[in-house]
Homo-oligomer: A and B are copies of this chain.
Amino acid sequence: MKIGELAKLTDCSVQTIRYYEKEQLMKSPERSEGNFRLYNKSSLKQLMFIKQCRTLDLTLSEIRQLLELQSSPSIQCNSVNKMIDSHIQQVEQRIKELNSLKEQLNYLSNTCSNNGTIEQCGILQKLTSDVAKNV
């Protein structure tokens, strides 16, 4: 199949597929006589694996590592574990941050009566006075 079909099947953009190839996440496929990329089922699997990893927010570099590991099936897998666990921690950390952010934003939002002028706006006043506090 040509790149456009692969793109549709995987819900990736054509450019993204070419990008993954350039970044060595996808093997360079064969080419047709007219120099078009030709993919097969194995390419499809490869790309779906990458996509799956991306939905888990693994970086391209981490995915590259996983792909490398897969090519040495008899070594220990604890590095895979470490990677996933460190991700979980990062995600947890980010959730904490965002929850605190949400609180702050809600607090700010409540200080605005929503029918006054910029000058009277509690949000801007709060943003400015927090500044003063911090200095």
**Known contacts A81-B123, A124-B69: A48-B88 contact under CB 8 Å:** no
- Say yes or no: is A45 at the interface (Cβ < 8 Å to chain B): yes
CA A133 to CA B84, docked complex, whole Å:
21
Copies assembled: 2
Using Cβ atoms and an 8 Å threshold, which residues of chain B touch A53?
127
**Known contacts A56-B101, A84-B108: A135-B77 contact under CB 8 Å:** no
Size bin of chain A's contact surface:
35 or more
Contact yes or no, B56 A112, CB < 8 A = no
Give 1 or 0 for each of A38-82: 1 = CB within 8 Å of chain B CB.
000000110011011101110000000010011011111110110
Q: List 18 A-B contacts (CB under 8 A).
A: A9-B135, A45-B128, A48-B134, A49-B131, A51-B134, A52-B127, A52-B131, A52-B134, A53-B127, A56-B104, A56-B105, A73-B118, A77-B118, A88-B106, A88-B109, A91-B98, A91-B102, A91-B105
Instruction: Show the binding face of A for B, using Cβ within 8 Å.
Output: 9, 44-45, 48-49, 51-53, 55-57, 66, 69-70, 72-78, 80-81, 84-85, 87-88, 91-92, 94-95, 98-99, 101-102, 104-106, 108-109, 112, 114-121, 123-124, 127-128, 130-132, 134-135
Known contacts A56-B108, A95-B102; 8 further A-B pairs (Cβ under 8 A): A44-B135, A55-B101, A66-B127, A74-B119, A77-B112, A77-B124, A78-B114, A84-B105
